[in-house]
Structure 1
Amino acid sequence: MKKLIAEFIGTLWLVLGGCGSAVLAAGFPELGIGFVGVSLAFGLTVITMAYAIGHIYGCHLNPAVSIGLWVGGRFDGKDVLPYIIAQVIGGIAGAGILFLIASGKPDFALGGFAANGYAEHSPGGFSMTSALIIEVAMTFIFLFVILGSTYTKAPRGFAGLAIGLCLTLIHL
């Protein structure tokens, strides 16, 4: 139960810190943090949680990571579904907190809630094919970094930095 609570809190923090930076701080022309700031926010949330809860059992924070670690033989299959459930509930809770904060602004509109996508919903106008390719490629590299930096022969104590900085780079 302790590890599921940790996953819940960690994923809540990832959504609140990462998405929250996009919703609450990226759009101010004079003071906003922009794309670089949002990228750093996602990476920093992972770094902080890696050191806060990583010792409990992993700090996956994302179903793709849990599944990838299971496929890689580094995570017990019986824990995959409970982790995913904790992550989804944590993500919903983080988004709920963010909604409560953001909706306190007089001109708040749910349509501008840091959502993007492909084609006309992409800042660069990228196609669905491009979105799918980048998602698969970046998830592969992210899991490669996670598996490599947490390997028993990897330098101890640095996995959180490697993983968090990798996520920063992915968002950049």
Structure 2
Amino acid sequence: MKKLFAEFFGTFWLVFGGCGSALLAAGIPELGIGFTGVSLAFGLTVLTMAYAVGHISGGHFNPAVSIGLWIGGRFPAKELAPYIVSQCVGAVVAAGTLYLILSGKSGFEIDPTQAGAFASNGYDSFSPQGFSITSAFVAEYVLTLFFLIIILGATDKLANGKFAGLAIGLALTLIHLISIPITNTSVNPARSLSQAIFVGGEPLAQVWLFWVAPILGAITGGLIYKNFLGDNK
């Protein structure tokens, strides 16, 4: 149960801190943190929770990461479903908390026809810069693939484990710097689902891509590291 609580709180913090920074702090005139600040916020959520609870659960906070670690031989199959459920619940509770906070602002409402509404992910007209479904799929696939290679490499028994959280957090920052204009950045099915539930409409209909592409990317990354990069001796 400690592992599942750790995944719940870690994923809550990721969504609350990352999506919260986009919703609450990014667009304030002259003082807003902007594109770079949101990217850094997502990285900081993972970095801080990796050191806070990573020693308890492994610090996945992402269904795609759990699946990729399983494929890479670092995580038992029997724990996959409980981890994924804990991550999704943590993400949805975080999104609900953000909704409750934003509801206290006069005039707040979610427009399900707007790209990036409530920090949701999307493609075509729901992409921040109008990128196609193909572009969105390729970006989410490739970025999650490399995210898994970084995670597996940074946590390898031959690596300096003290810096694993830093490397992984900075990797997520870089991923957001690359892909916010494309999909509003997912690489995390739980993060995408939590926001889409509150938006509904087309963003919810498009959430399938933000499960399929990251999971396929994670599987590929896990296989690449296990077979070509890891120490198989």
TM over 0.5: yes
Query: Unmatched 5+ residue regions in structure 2?
Result: 112-116, 178-233
Instruction: Determine which of 154, 163, 175 is the counterpart of 1:158.
Output: 163
Instruction: Determine which of 121, 128, 138 is the counterpart of 2:126.
Output: 121
Between 1 and 2, higher relative CO (CA 8 Å, sep ≥ 6) is seen in 1
Q: Deviations over 1:124-169 (max 9, x none)?
A: 1100000000000000000000000000000130000000000000
| Residue 57 of structure 1: aligned partner | 57
Is 1:168 aligned with 2:173? yes
2:7–2:60: 8 Å Cα contact kept in structure 1? Answer: yes
Map of 1:6-155 to 2, 5 A cutoff? Answer: 6-111=6-111, 112-155=117-160
Q: Deviations over 1:10-67 (max 9, x none)?
A: 0000000000001111111211111100000000000000000011120100000000
**SS at structure 1 position matched to 2:161:** coil
RMSD: 0.8
Count the aligned residue pairs.
172
Q: Deviations over 1:98-125 (max 9, x none)?
A: 1111111112112231224111221211
Code of the residue aligned with 2:38 in structure 1: it is V
2:2–2:57: 8 Å Cα contact kept in structure 1? Answer: no
Query: Unmatched 5+ residue regions in structure 1?
Result: none
Q: Give the distance between the partners of 2:134 and 2:37, measured in 1 at CA.
A: 27
Q: Give the distance between the partners of 1:64 and 1:147, measured in 2 at CA.
A: 13
TM-score with structure 1 length normalisation?
A: 0.98
Q: Give the distance between the partners of 1:138 and 1:99, measured in 2 at CA.
A: 28
TM-score with structure 2 length normalisation?
A: 0.73
The runs of at least 4 aligned residues of structure 1 exceeding 4 Å deviation read none
**Percent of paired sites with the same residue:** 66
